[in-house]
Structure 1
Amino acid sequence: MRDDKLLTRIAGLLRQAEGTDNQHEAEAFLAAAQRLATASSIDLAVARDHDPALRSRSTPITRQVMIGTAGKRGLRTYVQLFVQIGRANDLTCDVASNSTYVMAYGFSSDLDTVEALYASLVVQMVSASDAYLKSGAYKSETAEQVVTRDIGPWRRRVVETKPLSPITARLNFQSAFAERIGARLLVARDEQRDNAIRDEQAGSDPAAGTGPGERESSSTAIALRNKELEVSDYYAQESTARGTWRPSRATAGYSSAARRAGDRAGRRAKIGSDREFGSPRGALES
């Protein structure tokens, strides 16, 4: 299992993000936190690939993560945020039909990282959407909604434009926030993976008779692929989910203005605090 010191180091980077008013610095610290998590994940994957004993001790698991209580509105955007973070950290997720919890499949260390990141980011997502609604900026905007209407003898689905309601504004804002966070974390993860493989390609192992480029096929790239397949196989065996979860429904209404605001907030997001990383796991209500 990953050393607790890793989460402490990630928390330190994220506190630095909170401590700056410079958007570019905040983004850099977030990217550094994700790259650190990815580097540790790569190290573990490579070690497992070379150590059968470690491989037998460290295997994928299933963890149920509570998102909120039944009946709370907006839980789908909370789930969307968790799934986006999980995707950047090698998790596969199933979602409860009412979005109250997620079943996450992957390695324990990756699950720990995702829960730590989520605990911080969901607080910021809610805070940013609250500020957006409080500003009143949404009141002059509109939303598009697909509805069914009787038109003559036929019932047809049509797109109608209506004033943007607070709940539609919040859902669009938070959905765009989650998408932007996911994109940022994926970029940081892919950069770290590329760097690890490139560093390996640039080296050589004279004792083994290998040269630049030859070690990639026997270590980092292979280890990452093996890890991916192991999680995929485990998920296929353990999951009982039916159907495909989608982050949003057309009937909720679509607002480009609220999504732009959420995207901007996702770009500015700063993560982490001691209390968030040290708090017990539990449901986060909408």
Structure 2
Amino acid sequence: MRDDKLLTKIGGLLRQAEGTDNDHEAEAFMAAAQRLATAASIDLALARAHDPAARRTASPITRQVQIGKAGKRGLRTYVQLFVQIAQANDITCDVASNSTFVIAYGFEADIDACEALYTSLVIQMVAASDAYLKSGAYKGETARQVVTKGTGYLWRRVVEEKALSPITARLNFQSAFASRIGTRLREARDEQHAEAIRTEPVGAGPGARSVSTAVAMRNKELEVKDFYRTASTARGTWRPNRATAGYSTAARQAGDRAGRRAKIGADREFGGARGVLER
């Protein structure tokens, strides 16, 4: 069931994060948005654990989320950002082979929260990478790339170091940005889990729970996994760094720094061929 009040609260926190120039305030607002999403997820899991009616009305779903148009450069880093956010919100994803969309598997409220976070963060990721390229900081840096060399039967794979091109700089920057965002969101989620477990009623009093927070969340995780196994038709394994143009330490360090400072849109498209998915 969609919780519009929750989405309004998350959206408000994200707008506050985007509207401040203070990095510490932005960090606090972003973490608060993730903790709010996690708290709602915990409440749903507990409700389902204690109320058979809640289990009947709230079950895992699938949703196709459009990432970009075919042929656009760098869609894999957009997907990487979405997947990182999804992993912090109990969602499993299949990815189209051309990275134009993902299919999310999980509870509706979790997917809604994931999309809200992604819509804010993808704009920041693109803006930060644009600013990095415009600054010219990547110029003079290098990227390492594995290439195959040789003739006849004498072929070997070697690592070459080349001047860092703008597209390679952007891809490395955005990949590191996405990874750092994932780390930050998982930390906020884990803090909320720990707080919920620490403050849950214990014993035989009127507020005591027959099912603990930890057990309810574990049961929810297993339910999503079971649903995914029956609903997904994807084949193969998706990896964010496959077929990259090269690896740049400098660009990744810049992207990681931007991900640390991020102030924590996407359009949805339903339907589409399932046969092109990767897992």
Q: TM-score, normalized by length of structure 2? A: 0.92
Note closer, same or farther for the CA distance 1:280–1:165 as it changes in structure 2 (3 Å cut).
Answer: closer
Could you give the per-residue CA deviations for residues 147-171 of structure 1, whole angstroms, max 9, x where no partner exists?
0001785100100000000110000
Could you give the per-residue CA deviations for residues 232-258 of structure 1, whole angstroms, max 9, x where no partner exists?
000000111111100012542000000
Distance 2:118 2:168 in 1: 23
Alignment of 1:1-286 (within 5 A): 1-150=1-150, 153-200=153-200, 203-206=202-205, 218-249=211-242, 251-271=244-264, 281=268
Could you give the per-residue CA deviations for residues 159-184 of structure 1, whole angstroms, max 9, x where no partner exists?
00000001100000000000000000
Amino acid at match of 1:169: A
Q: Is the 8 A contact 2:46 2:216 kept in 1?
A: yes
Q: What is the CA distance between 1:43 and its match in structure 2?
A: 0.3
Amino acid at match of 2:71: G
Q: What is the CA distance between 1:281 and its match in structure 2?
A: 3.7
Distance 1:233 1:80 in 2: 23
Q: What is the CA distance between 1:11 and its match in structure 2?
A: 1.5
Distance 2:103 2:85 in 1: 14
Amino acid at match of 1:60: P
Q: Is the 8 A contact 1:147 1:251 kept in 2?
A: no
Q: Percent identical across equivalent pairs?
A: 74
- Give the helix-richer structure, 1 or 2: 1
Which residue is 2:275 aligned to? none
Note closer, same or farther for the CA distance 1:280–1:164 as it changes in structure 2 (3 Å cut).
Answer: closer
Q: What is the CA distance between 1:189 and its match in structure 2?
A: 0.3
Q: Is the 8 A contact 2:66 2:100 kept in 1?
A: yes
Q: Is the 8 A contact 1:146 1:251 kept in 2?
A: no
- Where structure 1 has 5 or more consecutive residues not aligned to the other structure, the ranges are none
Distance 1:261 1:191 in 2: 27
Q: Is the 8 A contact 2:129 2:170 kept in 1?
A: yes
Distance 2:199 2:72 in 1: 48
Distance 1:144 1:59 in 2: 46
